[in-house]
A and B are shown apart, each in its own frame.
Chain A
Amino acid sequence: MTISDSKIKLDIKKIQLDFPILAREVRNNRKLIYLDSAATSQKPQVVIDAQNRFYETINSGVHRGAYYLAELATDAHEHAREIISGFINIKPDQLIFTKNATESINLLSYAFLNATLKSKTDAAVDKRLVLNAGDEILVSELEHHANLVPWQELCLKTGAVLKWIPITDQGLLDYSKVDELIGVKTKIVSISHMSNVLGSITDIELIRKAAKSVNAFFFIDACQSVPHMPVDFTKLGADAIVWSGHKMLGPLGIGLLAATTELLDIMPPFITGGSMIETVSMQKSTFAKAPKKFEAGTPPAAEAVGLGAAVEYLQKIGMQNVHDHERHLTKLMVDGLKNIEGVTIYGPTDDRERGSTVSFALNGLHPHDVGQVLDDMGIAVRVGNHCARPIMDKLKVQSTTRASTYIYNDDSDIEALLDGINEVFKFFGAR
């Protein structure tokens, strides 16, 4: 039996040793307590090594050149694609490497814009991608700006109308509004799997059914879910999902798009240039099939290889184990925060409805000041609007303090945070 098949008690102390950065000291020679993995995760040595090894031993032009090193580099790049696509249960040619998840969403939104523009002169454009004035795009009120602004822009350019599912006071989507918001005019539904601010987990099946009942395209921003729980693309039933490598122990600079073969076939390319073509003359060009069609230019090959190593590392631990461990930490954190007088938690408090990203306020204190005092104790949390300004407006706050965990956090990190919060109150003489 491999570890990933079993429900085991993870040895977090041992896992922590895999992450060199956790051994460093921060301000005032304090031990680093990293609670900002929702922004970016730390990297295990195997990921750093895999990326370095690419540069040290096989660095060369991927998908170009017929020499030995170029073959090895191309193999490594494509092997990484196999590992990562297997991780979410798709075929390798359904996986597109991008720069980040934001680019992945833009790849989708620009496919609609480009199809709409091209349809005026090119009869071959698939009509399902063509937007007309009055068509509707549905998002939710808890989206990260990355899953909001590209759709706003698409609406501005096509005359489509943006609609959104509001959130309840508990920070969950108001599912009672879904039926009235989805109709025959709805062409695209793009929803976050898990909120990067409130931690709320979306009922994907409910949204999928509603989207598919009107034949709308269904996209999922999976940035906060794929790193933290088992995700099977085929079970989600989406047309495409996007996420980023750096939030799942992988390197910065690589994002992902997974899509159905059908969608990849009909979408026009986003960024054009080298590597994504079939034939080129001075007058016009034809394009390669996916994934190449969407991967113009020299690819981030070392990053792909590093991400492949990150996925293998996670697979060895087992995503269910990752999820169970984080659920334990979430419960510890939410229960602990509830017990501190003067703390307000935003978002659901039931650990079945949320992931391990928890936003909160220390009443009477500004998050920037909270973060600063915590930092003085070596505790790294995020303060600000978390690239999700509409949620801040809904909560009627300027910003929040956010703590988020990963596989390398343990109970003592949560205890340090809770102790730290009491120290913050003491420091400012508030409460």
Chain B
Amino acid sequence: MNLSNMYQEVILDHYKSPRGKGLQETFGGEAHHVNTTCGDEITVRVQLSEDGNSIKKISYASTGCSISQASASIMFEQIDGKNLTDFNKSSEEFLAMMQSKGKFEPNEDLLGDGVSMIGVAQYPARIKCALLSWMAAKDAIIRAKGE
């Protein structure tokens, strides 16, 4: 195991230049999640399309470590504008990868740059960091749907 497995260039790039960061004023659902062990926080806002089947706009504000920040940025890139079926597939794929202890062949179509997070799955203490944004997005979508 090597540290550069976790901190791949693409992760450090997302960390240093996060995509889509900043909250949108218009949203249908919002979720605020905290990683209680380190205090990392994220707020995710979701605006669904009129038929309620796709994510019209997702936005977020977050503070935290490189892994949680990069994960949020990657998630934004992957799911902004996607329909909810695709979001669910990506989200499930990401969760399965993070729970795999690194023994996983991630699907790049579903995860995009998220495949680079495979190294993080080998460090149990950091899995929560990677999952924080995805879990918050899931909650925000549920709230946007009014369920």
Contact = CB atoms under 8 A, between A and B. Distances in A.
Contacts of A27: 1
Which interface residue of B38, B40, B126 has the most chain A CB atoms within 10 A? B38
A288 to B, nearest CB: 39
B117 to A, nearest CB: 14
A27 B2 CA distance: 9
- In which size bucket is the chain B interface? 10 to 19
Interface in B68-101: none
A368 interface: yes
A367 interface: yes
Interface in A351-386: 366-369, 372-373, 376, 383-385
B30 to A, nearest CB: 20
Contact of A398 (B7, B38, B67): B38
B66 A366 contact: yes
Given A383-B38, A385-B39, A427-B7, A368 B65 contact: yes
Contacts of A55: none
B64 interface: yes
Interface in A383-431: 383-385, 389, 392, 398-399, 427-428
Given A28-B1, A368-B67, A369-B66, A399 B123 contact: no
Contacts of B38: 367-368, 383-385, 398-399
A383 B66 CA distance: 14
Contacts of A392: 39
Given A372-B126, A383-B38, A366 B3 contact: no
A428 B4 CA distance: 11
Contacts of B7: 369, 427
A427 B65 CA distance: 14
B61 interface: no
Contacts of A368: 38, 40, 64-67, 126, 129
A373 B3 contact: yes
B123 A372 contact: yes
A366 B67 CA distance: 10
A372 B130 CA distance: 14
A383 B64 CA distance: 12
Contacts of A427: 3, 7
Which interface residue of A366, A389, A399 has the most chain B CB atoms within 10 A? A366
B63 interface: yes
A27 B6 CA distance: 14
Nearest to B123: A372
Contacts, number: 46
A84 B14 CA distance: 54
Nearest to A429: B12
A146 B50 CA distance: 49
Interface in A134-173: none
A28 B65 CA distance: 23
A68 to B, nearest CB: 46
Nearest to A27: B1
A384 B37 contact: yes
Given A28-B1, A373-B3, A428-B12, A398 B66 contact: no
B3 A372 contact: yes
B37 A398 contact: no
Interface in B6-42: 6-7, 12, 37-41
B35 to A, nearest CB: 9
Contacts of A369: 7, 65-67
B65 A366 contact: yes
Nearest to B6: A372
Interface string B53-66: 00000000001111
B39 A399 contact: yes
A366 B64 contact: yes
A398 B40 contact: yes
A376 B3 contact: yes
B3 A398 contact: no
A41 to B, nearest CB: 21
B63 A398 contact: yes
Contacts of B126: 368, 372
A384 B37 CA distance: 6
Contacts of A384: 37-39
A191 B71 CA distance: 40
A372 B1 CA distance: 13
A404 B47 CA distance: 47
A372 B2 CA distance: 11
Nearest to A28: B1
A385 B64 CA distance: 13
8 contacts: A28-B1, A366-B66, A368-B64, A372-B126, A376-B3, A384-B39, A398-B38, A398-B41
Given A369-B67, A385-B39, A399-B38, 12 more contacts: A368-B40, A368-B66, A368-B126, A372-B6, A383-B38, A384-B37, A385-B38, A389-B39, A392-B39, A398-B38, A398-B40, A398-B64
Interface of A: 27-28, 366-369, 372-373, 376, 383-385, 389, 392, 398-399, 427-428
6 shortest A-B CB distances, which residue pairs? Answer: A368-B65, A366-B65, A398-B39, A376-B3, A399-B39, A384-B38
